């Protein structure tokens, strides 16, 4: 959806979810600003039983001039109603009748969409979606410093102080916003009330420890989701604790936060596992979080009473935590080899990839950050380093020698579109360039053969080159090693394998 599609309406109401959080307020504010600039009659409201009381939010309303009003008894029927950070008809947003409905949200899709909607599941905050939509209309929110600060705080609070960010668009916004830092500091230091401090203490007191896999489960009363991160960060410092899950169950959702301090467990992967099919989860290697949706849980189990809902949610988290550690096998490629007798021999199929000469983009010796859908990567530019761009937009550095040995390079541009086009930022100056405009085509000519087989169990692979960070292979993906080097083990995605290799 483009925001300008909504300009055909004149009487517009933007509604946050009940008990609005910083992200709902910030994204609503961004949208309000857009309509105001376009001379529309626009109101920003929230409804429900409770007026905003949390100290960080009252500071936010006051210092950032958020033009929101509390309208528990709202009776007008606007021409257009936009719900932000929530979806019309869901139980966390009081129903407001309107002639037309739009929704802008970053939560799991559960219902049919109204005529106008922008719902992006993998994004860290609704603020990011608004920021992106405003950008597409050619607007720069940095022209309005208080708005920029609000959007930043929306993402900050929705991702546990940025620690649970996983989408590159979130990182782009975090980098590009010019904010009032002292207001952010003030808000984030009024985040916990004295009551919540007690909630934190009580939750930690009642931890459950599972010694077989050294993890801790902490159940809290419903609280600000950020407090879950506080609990698990603190508890992870305990000796003998490698992984920590903290969670609460509220009417509208189950929120959880995951921490890991061992290289064999990536918190983001565990979070995705816990929420698979019943919500969403993600973040970073060490810190991650997620949500389970009651509507999704109900598909698995008919939840009639609140007690059933609470018990079922509790059980499913416990059961998945326990099961997680049995779902995979760990391979340390430096010390291990695979049994070739169960594998078939393949050779690489000729294909077109992209390559980029890095010192075409920034001068020799520049430190850069390459941003892709899979994450950020820091690289120091030198005259012999190239970047390869794979079929799915994945990016990896390669030396000039490797490039010459395995590929035939052409002068032809490599023009492909990906969900998120990789970008390169000069780490020191912040100057950003699009990778694709420098990319040319390379044709693979590799003659090396591999042995490969599809995985029947999930694998965590520490390659010989990267002993610190594992690659995950799901069931159906291929595990392979090079005929000329049995320790050069790799994983190839199920959908890419038939494109990249053919049996010999
Ligand atoms: Mn949100």
* Distance in Å, CA 157 to ligand 1 centroid: 8
For 317-336, what is the mean pLDDT? Answer: 95
Domain edge (last residue) among 188, 206, 223? 188
Do 437 and 461 share a domain, yes or no? no
Domain span at 487: 333-349+446-504
Q: How far, CA to CA in Å, does 504 sit from each of 17, 173, 340, 347?
A: 58, 48, 15, 6
How many Å lie between the centroid of ligand 1 and the Cα of residue 126? 5
CA atoms within 13 Å, Cβ hemisphere of 31: 36
Residues 308 and 413 in one domain: no
Contact 448, 435 (CB under 8 A): no
pLDDT of residue 108: 65
What is the mean predicted confidence (pLDDT) over 392-413?
Answer: 87
- Both tokens assigned to 207: 């931890």
The model's pLDDT over 435-492, given as tens digits with 9 standing for 90+, comes to 888 999 999 876 779 999 999 999 999 988 778 888 899 999 999 999 988 999 999 9
Q: How many domains does the chain have?
A: 4
85 alpha carbon – ligand 1 mean position (Å): 5
Q: DSSP of 315-357, one letter per residue?
A: HHHHHHHHHHTTSEEEEETTT----GGG-EEEEEPP-EEEEEE
Radius of gyration of the chain (CA): 25
Residues 356 and 345 in one domain: no
Chain Cα centroid distance, residue 471: 18
Q: For residue 98, which of 88, 109, 86 has the smallest C-alpha distance?
A: 88
Which residues line ion ligand 1, judged by CB < 5 Å?
23, 85, 126, 158
Q: Is a pLDDT exceeding 90 seen at residue 204?
A: yes
Strands 254-260 and 243-249: antiparallel
**Could you say which of 399, 418, 443 is where a domain stops?**
443
DSSP string of 15-62, one letter each residue: EEPSS--HHHHHHHHHHHHHHHHTT-EEEEEE-SS-----HHHHHHHH
CATH code (residue 145):
3.90.1640.10
- List the helix and strand counts (H, then E) for the chain: 14, 29
Same domain, 104 and 225: no
Q: Can you give the pTM of this predicted structure? A: 0.73
Least confident of 3-7, 193-197, 234-238, 476-480: 193-197
Rounded to whole angstroms, the Cα distance separating 385 from 381 reads 7
Q: How close is the Cα of 158 to the center of ligand 1, in Å?
A: 6
Mean pLDDT of the chain: 91
For 147, the token pair is 């708005």
Residue where one domain finishes, among candidates 443, 474, 496: 443
Task: Work out the number of other CB atoms within 10 angstroms of the CB of residue 429.
Answer: 9
Separation between Cα atoms, residue 361 and residue 118, nearest integer Å: 34
Domain co-membership, 174 together with 143: yes
Cα angle for residues 229, 252, 151 (degrees, 5° grid): 55
144 CA to centre of ligand 1 in angstroms? 21
CA of 378 to the centre of ligand 1 (A): 29
Residues 23 and 97 in one domain: yes
Q: For 148-214, where are the E strands, in sequence order?
A: 208-210
Label residue 2 by pLDDT band (50, 70, 90): very high
What is the CATH number for 306? 3.10.310.40
Q: Looking at the structure, do residues 300 and 217 belong to the same domain, yes or no?
A: yes
Q: Average pLDDT in the 356-376 region?
A: 87
Judge if 385 and 432 occupy the same domain.
yes
The Cα–Cα gap between 477 and 267 comes to 21
Neighbouring CB atoms inside 10 A of 192's CB total 20
Judgement on whether residues 168 and 270 belong to the same structural domain of the protein: no
Tens-digit pLDDT profile for residues 141-178 = 999 999 999 999 999 998 888 887 878 999 999 999 99
pLDDT digits (tens, 9 = 90+) for 76-101: 999 999 999 998 988 789 999 999 99
Q: CA-CA distance, 306 to 246, in Å (whole number)? A: 20
The answer to whether residues 178 and 261 belong to one domain is no
Residues 490 and 359 in one domain: no
CA dihedral 397, 403, 407, 409 (to 10 degrees): 90
Sole residue written with tokens 């690659």: 471
Same domain, 215 and 294: yes
């Amino acid at each position: 959806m483009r925001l300008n599609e909504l300009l055909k309406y004149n009487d517009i109401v933007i509604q946050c979810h009940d008990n609005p959080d910083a992200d709902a307020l910030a994204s609503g504010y961004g949208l309000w600003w857009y309509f105001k600039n376009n001379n529309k009659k626009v109101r920003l409201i929230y409804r429900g039983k409770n007026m905003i009381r949390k100290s960080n939010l009252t500071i936010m309303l006051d210092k950032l001039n958020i033009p929101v009003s509390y309208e528990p008894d709202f009776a007008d029927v606007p021409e257009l109603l936009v719900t932000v950070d929530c979806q019309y008809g869901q139980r966390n947003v009081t129903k407001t009748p309107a002639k037309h409905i739009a929704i802008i949200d970053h939560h799991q899709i559960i219902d049919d969409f109204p005529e106008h909607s922008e719902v992006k599941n993998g994004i860290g905050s609704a603020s990011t979606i608004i920021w992106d939509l405003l950008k597409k209309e050619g607007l720069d929110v940095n022209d309005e410093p208080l708005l920029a600060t609000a959007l930043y705080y929306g993402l900050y609070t929705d991702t546990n102080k940025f620690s649970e960010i996983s989408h590159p668009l979130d990182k782009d916004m975090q980098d590009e916003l010019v904010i009032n830092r002292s207001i952010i500091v003030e808000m984030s230091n009024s985040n916990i009330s004295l009551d919540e401090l007690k909630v934190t203490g009580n939750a930690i007191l009642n931890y459950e420890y599972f010694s077989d896999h050294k993890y801790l489960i902490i159940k809290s009363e419903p609280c600000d989701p950020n407090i879950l991160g506080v609990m698990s960060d603190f508890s992870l410092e305990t000796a003998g604790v490698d992984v920590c899950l903290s969670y609460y169950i509220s009417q509208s959702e189950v929120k959880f936060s995951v921490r890991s301090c061992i290289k064999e467990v990536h918190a983001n992967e565990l979070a995705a596992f816990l929420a698979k099919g019943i919500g969403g989860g993600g973040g970073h290697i060490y810190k991650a979080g997620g949500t389970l949706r009651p509507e999704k849980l109900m598909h698995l189990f008919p939840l009639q009473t609140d007690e059933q809902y609470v018990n079922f949610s509790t059980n499913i988290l416990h059961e998945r935590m326990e099961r997680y550690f049995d779902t995979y096998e760990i391979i340390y490629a430096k010390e291990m080899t695979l049994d070739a007798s169960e594998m078939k021999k393949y050779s690489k199929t000729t294909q077109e990839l992209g390559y980029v000469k890095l010192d075409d983009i920034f001068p020799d010796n520049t430190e850069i950050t390459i941003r892709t859908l899979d994450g950020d990567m820091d690289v120091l530019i030198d005259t012999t380093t190239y970047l390869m761009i794979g079929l799915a937009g994945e990016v990896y550095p390669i030396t000039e020698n490797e490039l010459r040995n395995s590929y035939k390079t052409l002068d032809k541009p490599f023009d492909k579109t990906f969900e998120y086009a990789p970008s390169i930022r000069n780490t020191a100056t912040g100057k950003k360039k699009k990778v694709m405009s420098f990319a040319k085509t390379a044709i693979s000519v590799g003659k090396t053969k591999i042995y490969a087989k599809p995985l029947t169990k999930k694998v965590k692979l520490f390659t010989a080159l990267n002993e610190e960070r594992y690659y995950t292979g799901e069931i159906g993906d291929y595990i392979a090693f090079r005929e000329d080097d049995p320790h050069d083990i790799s994983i190839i995605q199920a959908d890419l394998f038939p494109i990249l290799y053919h049996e010999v």
